[in-house]
RNA sequence: GGCGAGGUAGCUCAGUCGGUCAGAGCAUGCGGCUCAUAUCCGCAGUGUCGGGGGUUCAAUUCCCUCCCUCGCUACCA
């Protein structure tokens, strides 16, 4: 029996679950179910990633210990799958003792193999900042923040000899087209690998700076870098190295990730596996982002779609269908409730739901609710079967490669063909003409195809699919379904079996009342149907700020000052940069490197009063220290300096 | 600036190793049916397949160039 292991990334517990996490989980669940129906033994893994500096910071902010904090957020993620109708086989946490042991085993193994070595890292440590600075970051040899000379510390860190495997990885990717897909991400990784030398990966953090992590087995003064720890969940969950699961499911691993974590999965992870003497995973499947009204949605922005509300409002099946139907594999997609409602009505209510309802109703009207026996096959029956065969094959081929949108598109060709077939054969006319044998055949052909559709939809909408099958008098039994044969088998539905009287799985829905403002032209049918005699209310002013709001104290963190530009010149080694000296009423003028050379000439700036961010962390830009940021206002057309309406003393505060 | 991916009907997209390849769904208009969830079926469109140039008997599909969008990166602060 062939095997299929599918994973989501383990989600980082520094924020609550949102649409992106929901999608990844739904996609993993659906492909897992698909492969199960295809006759494979499947294992579906998800979980949470809980170590690292960011978690420490977040827990401090919440006034909790890292573990308490991680427990709390992890529980939210654990609760996500059931809401979505997803059934992972395992939920792993990187704080699980078994995982920790495995990570240490692998570290030890790679260490003994000689692929982990001591190296001296960074060196310039500023005690004020509690961090290292690279040569590049230092300003005249001083800490840019504290203006003190950092101490040179030869901090020993452990490095993974990743560079050693660069050639191997390139070759492996070239030889296995399915290793990273879709191809655009494969190309991206290849160009990354081929463009320059891969550096070794620093995989340790000294405990003096971070203790919230897994201790290195060969040096108790260090903990493991969070990515090295996290990626290993994929095998620790299988009880590497001796577990039954590991023997069964490795290397049949198919990872699903969003495009932001492509590099760790496409570069770190395979080279880690290679170094540990393990075979690389089978495929890395990269999907895009869900945008919200074409604006980026992420943990750090406030415009997060709440998966639970969508499920509560529309049902898990419809929500899953929409996400899997709408996002082209690898590309970004836009989430709007209008689009969701549009799909739900057009595809599910009108096409599929109505098909079920009309077919069941006719079975009751003409055959007392029992599946009729088919008689002689007509040409039109054969044609429909052929179309159905191709539709189902198309579904399977695409779903197997994670292209769920195309798979569903293909299956819907059958759904639409069934509606058409009913119209063409006109059962109501056959009934009137007492052609019962033909009528029985027609209805049987429709019902049997509906069964096939329902079975294929199980991975996408398990709940709805099972209800459809109950309505057809054939409750879902996973063991009895052989999806690979479904396109061709015929006559599975038994004649004489009672079917449901009606089907109301997908009622039409309207957009919930406080209709969100639609900046773009609405595409949902409701937009037109809601038209009344009254003129539409004047469009509300577009929400100006999609970003999350901040507290006043956050604003206060900014030290905005007015200053006069004393001089400005082009940066000698940069096209876009100007080096300007701005008087802020301090002893010395500030040197600010501004990316304005393409918009302003140096002469335009000299003598002007500008607004600058005075407490921005200083940084060297192309060799020149920049101690602030000059603010401008811009639209699509112009860029203008931000200034006060009248003269203000240099150093005047903006508040 | 460099690298990469794209620009195809109002919208979302499919497609072409150059020759019925100008398509699907949604939206729009008209017509039909009545089994059905005001559902379904049929018909009708519009498109300079981003602009320009080139190769060819023939290009949306190949080459060059320009413009625009997005991603990564950088001299983005």
Domains of chain A: 1-95+288-335 (3.40.50.620), 336-485 (1.10.730.10), 558-653 (2.40.50.140)
Locus of tokens 């029985």: A440
Q: Is the pLDDT of residue A599 over 90?
A: no
How long is the CA A358 to C1' B40 vector, in angstroms?
Answer: 10
How long is the CA A289 to C1' B31 vector, in angstroms?
Answer: 43
Contact A438, A375 (CB under 8 A): yes
pLDDT band of residue A295 (cuts 50, 70, 90) is low
Locus of tokens 């082009």: A570
Q: Measure Cα distances from A385 to A375, A419, A653 in Å.
A: 15, 14, 76
- Percent of chain A surpassing pLDDT 90: 49
Q: What is the pLDDT of residue A527?
A: 29
- Percent of chain A surpassing pLDDT 70: 82
Token readout for A460 is 């996408």
Q: Is the pLDDT of residue A153 over 50?
A: yes
Mean pLDDT of A121-146: 55
Chain A residues 172 to 201 with C-beta below 7 Å from nucleic strand B: 184, 187-188, 191-192, 195
Q: What is the pLDDT of residue A541?
A: 25
pLDDT band of residue A323 (cuts 50, 70, 90) is very high
Which nucleotide has its C1' atom closest to residue A409's CA? B25
Q: What is the pLDDT of residue A157?
A: 86
Q: What is the pLDDT of residue A647?
A: 80
- Residue A3 burial (CB < 10 Å; 0-12/13-18/19+)? middle
How long is the CA A23 to C1' B43 vector, in angstroms?
Answer: 40
Q: What is the mean pLDDT of chain A?
A: 82
* Rounded distance between C-alpha atoms, residue A242 and residue A421, angstroms: 56
pLDDT band of residue A247 (cuts 50, 70, 90) is very high
* Rounded distance between C-alpha atoms, residue A333 and residue A323, angstroms: 9
Per-residue exposure over A141-178, b if at least 16 CB sit within 10 Å of its own CB, e if not: ebbbeeeeebeeeebebbbbbbeebbeebeeebeeeee
pLDDT band of residue A533 (cuts 50, 70, 90) is very low
Give the single-character DSSP code of A206. E
- Main-chain dihedrals φ then ψ at residue A26, nearest 5 degrees: -65, -45
How do residues A108-124 score in pLDDT, each as one tens digit? 999 999 999 988 765 56
* Protein CB footprint (7 Å) on chain B nucleotides: 1, 3-6, 10-14, 25-28, 32-42, 70-72, 75-77
CA nearest neighbour of A556 among A443, A630, A655? A655
Give the single-character DSSP code of A475. -
Which nucleotide has its C1' atom closest to residue A259's CA? B71
* Rounded distance between C-alpha atoms, residue A307 and residue A311, angstroms: 6
Q: DSSP per residue over A601-642, as a string?
A: -HHHHTT-EEEEETTSPPEEETTEEE-SEE-EEE-SS-EEE-
Token readout for A452 is 């096939």
Locus of tokens 């700076």: A209
How do residues A73-100 score in pLDDT, each as one tens digit? 999 999 999 999 999 999 999 999 999 9
Phi-psi map region of A15: left, alpha, beta (phi>0 left; psi -120 to 50 alpha): beta
Q: What is the pLDDT of residue A562?
A: 86
pLDDT band of residue A545 (cuts 50, 70, 90) is very low
Q: What is the pLDDT of residue A618?
A: 64
Which nucleotide has its C1' atom closest to residue A528's CA? B27
- Residue A633 burial (CB < 10 Å; 0-12/13-18/19+)? exposed
pTM listed for this prediction: 0.78
Q: CB of residue A87 closer than 7 A to nucleic acid strand B?
A: no
How long is the CA A447 to C1' B44 vector, in angstroms?
Answer: 33
Q: What is the pLDDT of residue A138?
A: 52
Residues ≥6 apart with Cβ < 8 Å to A60: none
How do residues A603-647 score in pLDDT, each as one tens digit? 777 888 888 887 676 666 666 777 778 887 765 445 677 888 878
Quick one: which residue's CA is nearest to B76's C1'?
A595
Q: CB of residue A367 closer than 7 A to nucleic acid strand B?
A: no
Q: How many alpha carbons lie under 13 Å from residue A64 in its C-beta half-sphere?
A: 13
Per-residue exposure over A194-218, b if at least 16 CB sit within 10 Å of its own CB, e if not: eeeebebbbbbbbbeebebbbbbbe
Greater confidence (A604 vs A407) lies with: A407
Q: Is the pLDDT of residue A515 over 80?
A: no
Q: Is A369 helix (H, G, I), strand (E, B) or coil?
A: coil
How do residues A418-475 score in pLDDT, each as one tens digit? 999 999 999 999 999 999 999 999 999 999 999 999 999 999 999 999 999 999 999 9
Q: What is the pLDDT of residue A108?
A: 94
How do residues A158-214 score in pLDDT, each as one tens digit? 999 988 888 899 888 888 888 888 878 888 888 788 766 678 888 888 888 888 899
Q: CB of residue A341 closer than 7 A to nucleic acid strand B?
A: no
Q: What is the pLDDT of residue A652?
A: 79
Residues ≥6 apart with Cβ < 8 Å to A119: A156, A157, A158, A159, A200, A202
Mean pLDDT of A290-296: 67
Instruction: Kindly provide the ipTM of the predicted complex, given to two decimals.
Output: 0.88
Locus of tokens 């290993």: A232
How long is the CA A533 to C1' B38 vector, in angstroms?
Answer: 20
Contact A326, A390 (CB under 8 A): no
* Rounded distance between C-alpha atoms, residue A529 and residue A527, angstroms: 6
Number of other CB atoms surrounding residue A111 within 10 Å: 18
């Amino acid at each position: 029996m062939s095997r299929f292991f599918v994973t989501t990334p383990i989600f980082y517990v520094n924020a609550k679950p949102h649409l992106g996490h929901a999608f990844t989980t739904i996609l993993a669940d659906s492909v897992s179910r698909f492969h199960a129906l295809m006759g494979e033994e499947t294992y579906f893994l998800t979980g949470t990633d809980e170590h690292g500096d960011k978690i420490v910071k977040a827990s401090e902010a919440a006034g909790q210990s890292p573990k308490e904090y991680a427990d709390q957020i992890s529980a939210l993620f654990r609760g996500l799958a059931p809401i979505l109708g997803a059934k992972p086989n395992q939920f792993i946490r990187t704080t699980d003792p078994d995982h920790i042991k495995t990570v240490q085993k692998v570290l030890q193994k790679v260490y003994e193999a000689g692929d982990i070595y001591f190296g001296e890292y960074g060196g310039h440590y500023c005690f004020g900042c509690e961090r290292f600075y690279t040569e590049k970051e230092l300003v005249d040899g001083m800490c840019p923040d504290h203006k003190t000379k950092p101490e040179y510390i030869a901090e020993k860190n452990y490095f993974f000899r990743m560079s050693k495997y660069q050639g191997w990885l390139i070759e492996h990717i070239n030889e296995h087209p399915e290793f990273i897909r879709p191809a655009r991400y494969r190309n991206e990784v290849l160009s990354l690998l081929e463009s320059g030398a891969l550096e070794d990966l620093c995989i340790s953090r000294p405990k003096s700076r971070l203790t919230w992590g897994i201790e290195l087995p060969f040096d108790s003064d260090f903990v493991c870098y969070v990515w090295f720890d996290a990626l290993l969940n994929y095998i620790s969950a299988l009880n590497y190295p001796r577990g039954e699961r590991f023997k069964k499911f490795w290397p049949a691993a198919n990872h699903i990730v969003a495009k932001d974590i492509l590099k760790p999965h496409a570069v770190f992870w395979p080279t880690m596996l290679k170094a540990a003497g393990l075979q690389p995973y089978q495929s890395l499947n990269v999907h895009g982002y869900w945008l919200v009204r074409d604006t980026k949605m992420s943990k750090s922005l406030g415009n997060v779609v709440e998966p639970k509300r969508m499920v509560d409002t529309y049902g898990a099946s419809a929500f899953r269908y929409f996400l899997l139907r709408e996002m082209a594999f690898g590309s970004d997609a836009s989430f709007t409730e209008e689009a969701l409602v549009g799909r739900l009505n057009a595809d599910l209510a009108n096409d599929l739901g109505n098909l079920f309802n009309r077919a069941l109703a006719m079975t009751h009207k003409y055959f007392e609710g029992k599946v009729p026996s088919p008689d002689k096959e007509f040409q039109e029956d054969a044609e429909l079967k052929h179309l159905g065969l191709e539709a189902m094959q198309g579904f399977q081929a695409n779903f197997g490669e994670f292209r769920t949108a195309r798979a569903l598109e293909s299956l819907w060709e059958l759904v639409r063909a069934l509606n058409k077939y009913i119209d063409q054969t006109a059962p109501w006319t056959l009934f009137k003409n007492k052609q019962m044998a033909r009528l029985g055949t027609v209805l049987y052909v429709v019902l049997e195809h509906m069964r096939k559709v329902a079975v294929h939809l199980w991975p996408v909408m398990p709940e709805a699919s099972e209800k459809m099958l109950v309505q057809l008098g054939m409750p879902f039994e996973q063991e009895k379904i052989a999806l690979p044969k479904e396109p061709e088998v015929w006559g599975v539905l038994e004649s004489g079996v009672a079917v449901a009287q009606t089907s109301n799985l997908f009622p039409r829905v309207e957009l919930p009342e406080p209709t969100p403002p639609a900046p773009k032209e609405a595409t949902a049918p409701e937009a037109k149907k809601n038209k009344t005699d009254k003129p539409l209310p004047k469009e509300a002013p577009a929400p100006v700020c999609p970003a999350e709001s901040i507290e006043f104290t956050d604003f206060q963190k900014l030290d905005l000052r007015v200053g006069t530009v004393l001089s400005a010149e082009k940066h000698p080694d940069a096209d876009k940069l100007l080096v300007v000296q701005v008087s802020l009423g301090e002893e010395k003028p500030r040197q600010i490197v501004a990316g304005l050379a393409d918009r302003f000439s140096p002469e335009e700036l000299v003598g002007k009063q500008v607004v600058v961010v005075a407490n921005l962390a200083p940084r060297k830009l192309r060799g020149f220290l920049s101690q602030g940021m000059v603010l401008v206002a811009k639209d699509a057309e112009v860029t203008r300096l931000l200034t006060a309406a009248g003269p203000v003393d240099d150093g005047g505060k903006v508040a």
